[in-house]
Amino acid sequence: MTEDWIRPGEWIGILGGGQLGRMTAQAAHRLGYRVRVLDPDPRSPAGQVADEHVQAAYDAAAAADLARRCAVVTYEFENIPLQAAEAAERAGRLYPAARVLGRSRNRIREKDAVTAVGLETAPYRPVRSAAEAERALSELGAPVLLKTAEGGYDGKGQIQVGNAAEAVDAFRQLCPGPDDHAVAERVVPILKELSVVGARGRDGSVRCFPPAENHHANGILDWSRVPADVPADVRQRAEEAAQRLLEAWDVVGLMAVEFFWTADGRLLVNETAPRPHNSGHYTLEACRTSQFEQLVRAVTGLPLGDPALREPAAMVNLLGDLWQDAGGDPDVRSALTLDVSLHLYGKAEARAGRKMGHITATAPTADAALQRALEARRRFARAAPSATP
């Protein structure tokens, strides 16, 4: 291992103050590091637990100042301006590198880079005009999913189209500006959606967490379970593909790779995310090292931890809709009678579709863990009983 490592007591900077930054900060504290978070929201989840919260916009000047005041900087979401990441990199150490961020946040560059290392994606075409949208549909065959090249997440920024008129209308809706681009993907028959969170250290070592099986509702991750209910060779292929990308892209830090397992047995790379991932939350309770601690280890130059699964697990998301269903007062006590782990992110406003927390369960089987986590969520969504007078 390189001697150029960052010792406990030093500062780690995090660009972004969401829940992923919050759990990363908590992991950093356990290892003895101090954390400085940059986020414009005065009540950001990560800012609430950080040693220092820099309340500022994600501009180049603020990012560079953060890097100068920290031993290393990382980020917890992709939608920070690329110029801010590049400024932080010039001023200090940023992991994963800005070039990795720039690749993952643009779907065209991402797919080109995935196929360049010999991995498959769904058939796709770059779309830079309404005419190209119409041509892509003709070449790929309907139905096609049209996605913005940048900025879409949790099902946003994408429209499925089945004919030329729909393709043109969708492009104009998704790309109103002259510099807006999209990508067209053929809709392929999918058996399962999987994801692998992998880490690569500054010494080049790679460790991957067990693949998660994911289920989405309305474009947002609803639940994950581990081990994924797929053949062992599919799990192995997913881990090997994630490792290939981590090494080929020279990632230092953490990266999640999402896959489609198709009806004809192929593993297609759907998206990458160079940060902790929603589907990796199960690692907090179920693995010897969590994804958040692994990120801290990777960027500080510590040895990577053991990602082995201690026990099968499942994670369910808690969206703001549940607070609305429960009249603003969910039944936390009832949910916790089921021996589950509850994580709430400290967000002040429970909006529909907003990730407010998650529940994790472990059990002898992944299916048993999932059923218990789902039941805990059902109980959580009920209004809490009135207090005894």
pLDDT > 90 fraction of the chain, expressed in percent and rounded: 92
pLDDT for 152 equals 66
Query: Which stretches within 31-72 are classed as H helix?
Result: 45-49, 60-68
pLDDT for 387 equals 53
Q: At residue 388, does pLDDT exceed 60?
A: no
Give pLDDT tens digits for 364-383: 999 999 999 999 999 999 99
Which structural domains are found in the chain, ordered by start?
11-94 (3.40.50.20), 123-186 (3.30.1490.20), 190-380 (3.30.470.20)
Q: Mean pLDDT across the stretch 309-314?
A: 98
User: Does the model's pTM come out above 0.85?
Assistant: yes
Q: At residue 386, does pLDDT exceed 80?
A: no
Give pLDDT tens digits for 194-239: 999 999 999 999 999 999 999 999 889 999 999 999 999 999 999 9
Q: For residue 371, what are the contacts with CB-CB under 8 A and spacing of at least 6?
A: none
Helix (H) or strand (E) holding 313: strand 313-319
Query: Packing angle between helix 60-68 and helix 82-91, nearest 10 degrees?
Result: 30
Q: Mean pLDDT across the stretch 345-350?
A: 95
pLDDT for 369 equals 98
* 389 vs 290: which has the higher pLDDT: 290
Q: What is the mean pLDDT of the chain?
A: 95
Q: At residue 128, does pLDDT exceed 60?
A: yes
Q: Mean pLDDT across the stretch 272-294?
A: 98
CA–CA separation, 123 and 111 (whole Å): 10
- 149-155 long-range contacts (CB < 8 A, ≥24 apart) are 149/106, 149/107, 149/108, 149/180, 149/181, 149/182, 149/183, 150/105, 150/106, 150/107, 150/181, 151/79, 152/107, 153/78, 153/79, 154/219, 154/220, 154/221, 154/353, 155/216, 155/218, 155/219, 155/220
Q: At residue 2, does pLDDT exceed 50?
A: no
Number of H helices, E strands in the chain: 14, 17
Distances (CA, A) of 158 to 149, 173, 203, 305: 10, 10, 38, 37
pLDDT for 385 equals 86
Q: At residue 9, does pLDDT exceed 80?
A: yes
Q: At residue 154, does pLDDT exceed 70?
A: no
* Burial class (CB within 10 angstroms; exposed 0-12, middle 13-18, buried 19+) of 388: exposed
Q: Mean pLDDT across the stretch 61-89?
A: 96
Q: Mean pLDDT across the stretch 99-126?
A: 96
- Matching residue, tokens 């994924």: 228
